[in-house]
Chain A
Amino acid sequence: MKREEEFKNWLQRSLQEETKDIYFTAQAKEEVRLRILERQKQSGKNTIRCSPAEEKSAELLQEDGYSFASRGSILRGTKQMGTPQTRRRQPKNGGLLGWWQQEFTLSLKAVAIYLVILILFGAFYTRTFFYVSPRQIAKFEQREQIILHDERVPFGARQHLVASLDRVKGVDRP
């Protein structure tokens, strides 16, 4: 029990030390207000009281293309990562990007599964892993020419035979 308490205290102290300089600043709070204001303007309702100067400021932000709404779009998949210094500003043509400029994401799992399926399908389609019997090889060797893409011949068998017979018989590629 004492050990558990010690561990808890130590971990808490270490993490508190690490986060002691982190604050939700007045500027960040002000941004919340401006972002709500901006979204309200976009949706046509305005319930937050603000001075004309502040309203102008929210408008200017929109006109300038630096939209707080776009910054807070983590869940919509258009968020721009990085520190404020590295954040790219939106273009001035109404904040709209062409489709070729949009960031898009794919699930890592989906890409991995797709690649595995593609490899397996390719392997089965070309019969790479299939056993090539001596009889099949003998049948190939009797041919005058090795014709690629002919029938459903195992890919592995073709590779071996092409390599061994190419020099002697020549390979026809229709």
Chain B
Amino acid sequence: MEDLGWQKVVEWMEKYGNRIIRVVYLLVNDYHLAEEITQEVFIQAYNSLESFRGESSPYTWLYRIALNLSKNYLKRKERISFLPFKEEAGEEDILTEPVEEQVIKLVAGHRVRECVGQLPLAYREVIILYYYDGLKIAEIAGVLEQPVGTVKSKLSRGRELLEKIFRKEGLGDEEGRGV
């Protein structure tokens, strides 16, 4: 029998995969990690498909899973890792950052992303969802499961902080970009 749940997940991957991986990328600042988290989003979606009652849009639901996974990762990142001793230095230890990554760092957009990345997570997620993904405040409140008022105040405070960071980094003012 064909697995209908899997068909649904395939459809969602086609429809929302790119949007989700981009938002996760902006949240965690690491492409490969963003890819893994996005894969995990769809795996979790598949596993808990029964709990999705269709009250919200699938996108909102997938977003919620993605944000929770990203937050869990970022919290984990604040912990001290104790790695075992490496037995031998192999090829994997010699490889450095891919060339593409280095080139990307030269692009101006990279600096904007870095500035957004400096925001505390609570503000970063709201800023990304509102300014980057273009979600409405009510939709963001649905994704984050927070009151609309809270989202509004986070958005306002997040923007203030972002403007401060832009000024500190010398971005924005000179071209009248509203900062």
Contacts and interface: CB of A to CB of B under 8 A. Distances in A.
A4 interface: yes
Contact of A22 (B5, B31, B110): B31
A53 interface: no
B52 interface: no
B81 interface: yes
Interface in B76-118: 76, 78-84, 92-93, 95, 98, 104, 107-110, 112-113, 116
A72 B134 contact: no
A172 interface: no
Interface string A1-36: 001111110111011111100111100110111011
Interface string A77-107: 1010111111110000000010011111111
B131 to A, nearest CB: 5
B3 A28 contact: no
A48 interface: yes
Nearest to A85: B95
A17 B26 CA distance: 12
A41 interface: no
A19 B13 contact: no
Contacts of A39: 43
Contacts of B178: 3-8, 10
A16 B107 CA distance: 12
Interface residues of B, number: 62
Interface string B22-55: 1001100001111111111011001100000000
Contacts of B25: 19, 22
Contact of B107 (A17, A74, A81): A17
A173 interface: no
A29 B70 CA distance: 19
Contacts of B13: 24, 29, 32
Interface residues of A, number: 56
Given A24-B35, A103-B84, A36 B6 contact: yes
Contact of B82 (A25, A82, A106): A106
Interface in B1-22: 1-3, 5-6, 9-10, 13, 17-18, 20-22
Contact of B46 (A16, A36, A88): A36
A71 interface: yes
Contact of B84 (A83, A100, A107): A100
A151 B95 CA distance: 60
A4 B178 CA distance: 7
A5 to B, nearest CB: 8
Contacts of B21: 22-24, 28
B62 to A, nearest CB: 12
20 contacts: A7-B178, A8-B131, A10-B178, A11-B132, A18-B26, A24-B18, A28-B38, A28-B39, A32-B42, A35-B39, A36-B6, A36-B46, A47-B3, A49-B6, A72-B40, A86-B93, A103-B81, A106-B79, A106-B82, A107-B78
Interface of B: 1-3, 5-6, 9-10, 13, 17-18, 20-22, 25-26, 31-40, 42-43, 46-47, 69, 72-73, 76, 78-84, 92-93, 95, 98, 104, 107-110, 112-113, 116, 128, 131-132, 134, 159, 172, 176-179
